[in-house]
C-alpha cells in the first residue's frame, strides 16, 4: 500500500511544535509546504514571516525564510521580489500584523500589484501576546483588552481588510477560506495553490485569508474552536473568492 500522507519535502522533520493544541498554524504550514512541493517552488521560495506566533515558522519551513518587523512583511517581500523577480516570494502574516500595524504596507503592496502572495491567518485575536483585541475581533467578543466584549463605541468594528484590497486593480486573486475541518482544509489548499500559481504566471498580487482557530486565547477546547470558526466566525467573515482577475486581458 502506498503511503498517502507522506511527510512534505519542505517541512522540517523531527521538530516539536511550539503551537498550542488545536492551533490552525500547523495545518496551514503543512499546506504551504505541500503546495510548494507540488508546484516545485521550494527551491526558489522565500517566505517572509511575521512578528506573532508564526515568527517561529522557520523552525518548520524547510525553505528560505526571512523574519520581518511587526507588520512590515509585504514591504520586505517587495524588496526581495523587486530585487530578484525570479524568486518565489510570499508573506505569512497574522491579523494584527497585517491589518493593524502593517495596514499601510498591506494596502500599498496590494495597490502596486506586487507579484507576491500573502497568506493571512485570521484568528480574531493577538495570539502570541496573550489574546488581546485584534482588528478582526468580533463584536462582543471578550479578549484581555476587551474584558466586557468588543464595544464598537470604543473599539470599532471587525476590519475586513481582504475585502478592501480585493477591490484594487492590482490584486489579482483574493479568497477567504477556513481550516475548520477536512473540507475547509482541502479548500484552503486549493486557494493557496491558486494564489501561488498567480505569482508563477506573473499576474500579480494574491491574498488568501484563512480563518483559523486559537483555542488557547478563545478559551475553548480545540473541538469547540473549530466549531466556533464554522458557526460564528464565518458569519462575520463569509468564505469565498473575493476577486479573481486571472483571466483579465492586460
From the list 16, 50, 227, 21, the residue with the least C-alpha distance to 121 is: 50
- Residue 15 C-alpha cell reads as 521538530
What does each C-alpha distance from 15 to 18, 66, 67, 78, 149 come to in angstroms? 9, 19, 19, 30, 37
Cβ distance to another protein smaller for residue 18 or 186: 18
| Shortest spacing between CB 124 and another protein, in angstroms | 24
Cβ distance to another protein smaller for residue 109 or 234: 109
| Shortest spacing between CB 110 and another protein, in angstroms | 11
Cβ distance to another protein smaller for residue 88 or 237: 88
Query: Given the rule CB under 8 A, which residues bind another protein?
Result: 10, 42-46, 48, 55-56, 58, 61-69, 72, 75-84, 87-88, 104-105, 107-108, 112
Cβ distance to another protein smaller for residue 106 or 146: 106
| Shortest spacing between CB 248 and another protein, in angstroms | 23
Rounded to 10 deg, the angle between the 25-38 and 182-200 helix axes is 50
| Shortest spacing between CB 11 and another protein, in angstroms | 11
Q: Are 245 and 172 in contact (CB under 8 A)?
A: yes
Beta-strand pair 45-49/171-178: unpaired
Amino acid at each position: 500500500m502506498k503511503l498517502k500522507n507522506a511527510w512534505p519535502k519542505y517541512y522540517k522533520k523531527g521538530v516539536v511544535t511550539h503551537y498550542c493544541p488545536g492551533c490552525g498554524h500547523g495545518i496551514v504550514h503543512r499546506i504551504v509546504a505541500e503546495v510548494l512541493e507540488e508546484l516545485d517552488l521550494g527551491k526558489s521560495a522565500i517566505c517572509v514571516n511575521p512578528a506573532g506566533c508564526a515568527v517561529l515558522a522557520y523552525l518548520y519551513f524547510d525553505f528560505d525564510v526571512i523574519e520581518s518587523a511587526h507588520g512590515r512583511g509585504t514591504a520586505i517581500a517587495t524588496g526581495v521580489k523587486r530585487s530578484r523577480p525570479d524568486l518565489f516570494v510570499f508573506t505569512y502574516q497574522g491579523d494584527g500584523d497585517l491589518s493593524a500595524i502593517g495596514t499601510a504596507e498591506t494596502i500599498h503592496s496590494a495597490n502596486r500589484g506586487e507579484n507576491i502572495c500573502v497568506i493571512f491567518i485570521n484568528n480574531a485575536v493577538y495570539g502570541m501576546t496573550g489574546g488581546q483585541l485584534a482588528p478582526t475581533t468580533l463584536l462582543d467578543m471578550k479578549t484581555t483588552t476587551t474584558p466586557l466584549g468588543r464595544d464598537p463605541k470604543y473599539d470599532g468594528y471587525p476590519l475586513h481588510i481582504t475585502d478592501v484590497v480585493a477591490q484594487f486593480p492590482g490584486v489579482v486573486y483574493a479568497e477567504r477560506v477556513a481550516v475548520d475541518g477536512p473540507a475547509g482544509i482541502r479548500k484552503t489548499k486549493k486557494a493557496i495553490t491558486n494564489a501561488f500559481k498567480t505569482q508563477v504566471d506573473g499576474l500579480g498580487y494574491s491574498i488568501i485569508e484563512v480563518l483559523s482557530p486559537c483555542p488557547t486565547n478563545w478559551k475553548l477546547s480545540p473541538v469547540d474552536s473549530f466549531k466556533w470558526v464554522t458557526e460564528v466566525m464565518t458569519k462575520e467573515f463569509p468564505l469565498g473568492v473575493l476577486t479573481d482577475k486571472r483571466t483579465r486581458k492586460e
